[in-house]
Chains A and B, each alone.
Chain A
Amino acid sequence: MNKLKLLLLALLIASKTQAQSVDDSFRQDGKILVVITVLLIILIGLFIYMIRTDRKITKIEKNEN
């Protein structure tokens, strides 16, 4: 949990200091980075969901014994 908080904090600081340049780079190359981000969000969302499903199966397997 602490690691996660640190990561979030780092991201926050990074986004504060580089907000302008990040914003700019998203608008370059016909905004193609936006499409990549969208696809990444979908993939990460599906991964999180699949990990949860995996945990559910593990729980059922443990109950077997």
Chain B
Amino acid sequence: MVLLIYTVISGFLIPIPDLANNSVLEQTIRNLFFHVPMWFAMIIVLFISLVYSIKYTSKQRIEDDMMAAECANVGILLGILGASTGAVWAKFTWGQFWPNDPKLNGAAIAVMMYFAYGILRNGIEDPQKKAKVSAIYNIFSFPIFIVLILILPKINDSLHPGNGGNPGFNKYDLDSNMRMVFYPAVIGWSLLAWWIVTLNYRIKLISHKKHNNYEQIKTATISTIDSI
């Protein structure tokens, strides 16, 4: 929380480098503290999701699967936020809401892929089977996500800095002032994302436990009735 408050305040107030002032970016360079950390946080939560899916495949604990699912959900949220904020930023710097850019399209496909993960989960009734299938899907989709969002745009020409021969943002944020805000921003947004994940996980856990108790009571009652 403190990190995010610091990010918003100093994100708006610190002086920006002259270089940005002279390019199409102008003050929008400040979006570095809001739009960019969305994607960083997304990569981090989806990586955690991958870790929990691997954990599930080795230990078969249903809780690990629930955690992986919640991480993927928040990843989708961050992806949508990142894409919509990016669209606004693109409109006023590159001139279009959705320029035909490999990074944008890659990110869109990646978000779709995680949507498909959610749909896949909803489609399978049996919890163990659901967990197993979706864990495997998740383990395969993470590398594809990384390729789509980080590697392909580097190979093709992208409007994004650091891709396809464009200079990286280093040119701008070598300015140590901006680094001082950017790193806390990434950590702050990521921690916020992680907090949302844990809240949702706890909700899931409670309803799961209650459901289980209910099932146990039901089966116990049925067996007592049977024995009578």
Residues of A at under 8 Å CB distance from B? Answer: 26-27, 29-32, 34-35, 37-39, 41-42, 45-46, 49, 53, 56-57, 60, 63-64
A35 B31 Cβ-Cβ under 8 A: yes
Stretch of B57-65, B78-86, B173-181 contacting A (4+ beta carbons < 8 Å): B78-86
Q: Total number of A-B contacts with CB less than 8 angstroms?
A: 67
Contact with A along B70-103 (1 / 0, CB 8 A): 0000000100110011001100110000000000
A41 B88 Cβ-Cβ under 8 A: yes
A49 B27 Cβ-Cβ under 8 A: no
Residues of B at under 8 Å CB distance from A? Answer: 8, 12, 21, 25-28, 30-31, 34-35, 38, 77, 80-81, 84-85, 88-89, 92-93, 196, 199-200, 203, 206-207, 210
B85 CB contacts on chain A under 8 angstroms? 38, 41-42
Interface of B: prevailing SS: helix
A49 CB contacts on chain B under 8 angstroms? 77, 196
- Supposing A30-B21, A34-B89, A53-B203 touch, asked if A45 and B84 sit within 8 A by C-beta, the answer is yes
Contact with B88, one of A27, A37, A57, A60 (Cβ below 8 angstroms): A37
A63 CB contacts on chain B under 8 angstroms? 207, 210
- Supposing A29-B27, A42-B81, A45-B84 touch, asked if A57 and B203 sit within 8 A by C-beta, the answer is yes
- Supposing A41-B81, A45-B77, A49-B196 touch, asked if A35 and B206 sit within 8 A by C-beta, the answer is no
B88 CB contacts on chain A under 8 angstroms? 34, 37-38, 41
Cα of A35 to Cα of B36 in the assembled complex, Å: 12
Please name the 5 residue pairs, one residue from A and one from B, whose CB atoms are nearest each other, closest first: A30-B27, A30-B26, A38-B85, A32-B27, A45-B81
Cα of A57 to Cα of B30 in the assembled complex, Å: 36
B77 CB contacts on chain A under 8 angstroms? 45-46, 49
